[in-house]
Amino acid sequence: MNYHLPALYILFSLFVLGCGDEKTDSLPQDDLCSEPEIGCFDSTWSAESSSYRLQLLSASPLLPERGSNEWLVELTSKTNESLDSCEVNATPYMPEHGHGAPAQPQVMKTPQSDYLIQEILFTMPGLWELTFDIQCGETSSELVIYSFWLEA
Ligand SMILES: [Cu+2]
């Protein structure tokens, strides 16, 4: 597994998106989301449970697409302490359709204690809900949820 791939993808994506685009310093996310009231994808999203916070560090592709997506997330306590010996599971779900993804994403802890989530399979446009099940040490697990609208 190559932990440096997401960064390369992002650099490449920035280069491609930057060409011929007036807004070279920011991604035209609003233009790409037809349902801002539901929630456009935020490339700097963070989400919390009562004890934990997840922060997206990078995504490949940079904006989610149908097919396989890869996200790198940082797990900390809500007081911003780094955490060790935690297990993270991610489950995609479409609440409006009542179905999930055809396979469970693979989660790999990186040497930096971030979590690389691979094979997040978005099969169709619409509202997607990512539920992250976080278990640290002997404490009971908590759920962190992030939802966004996936464009066609
Ligand atoms: Cu669906």
**What is the 25 CA–ligand 1 centroid distance (Å)?**
33
In the predicted structure, residue 131 carries a pLDDT above the cut 50:
yes
Give the ranges where 19-152 is alpha helix by DSSP (H).
Answer: none
Q: Is 81 within 8 Å of 75 (Cβ atoms)?
A: no
Topology adopted by domain 5-9+45-150: Immunoglobulin-like (2.60.40)
**What is the 136 CA–ligand 1 centroid distance (Å)?**
31
Range in 9-23, 53-67, 112-126 the model is least confident about: 9-23
Please provide residue 132's backbone torsions phi and psi, each rounded to the nearest 5 degrees. Answer: -105, 120
**What is the 124 CA–ligand 1 centroid distance (Å)?**
6
Cα–Cα distance between 102 and 49 in angstroms, integer?
A: 26
- What's the mean pLDDT when you consider all of the chain? 85
pLDDT per position as a tens digit, 72-94: 999 999 999 989 889 999 999 99
Every domain of the chain and the residues it spans:
5-9+45-150
**What is the 63 CA–ligand 1 centroid distance (Å)?**
18
pLDDT per position as a tens digit, 20-78: 444 344 455 555 677 777 789 999 999 999 999 999 999 999 999 999 999 999 999 99
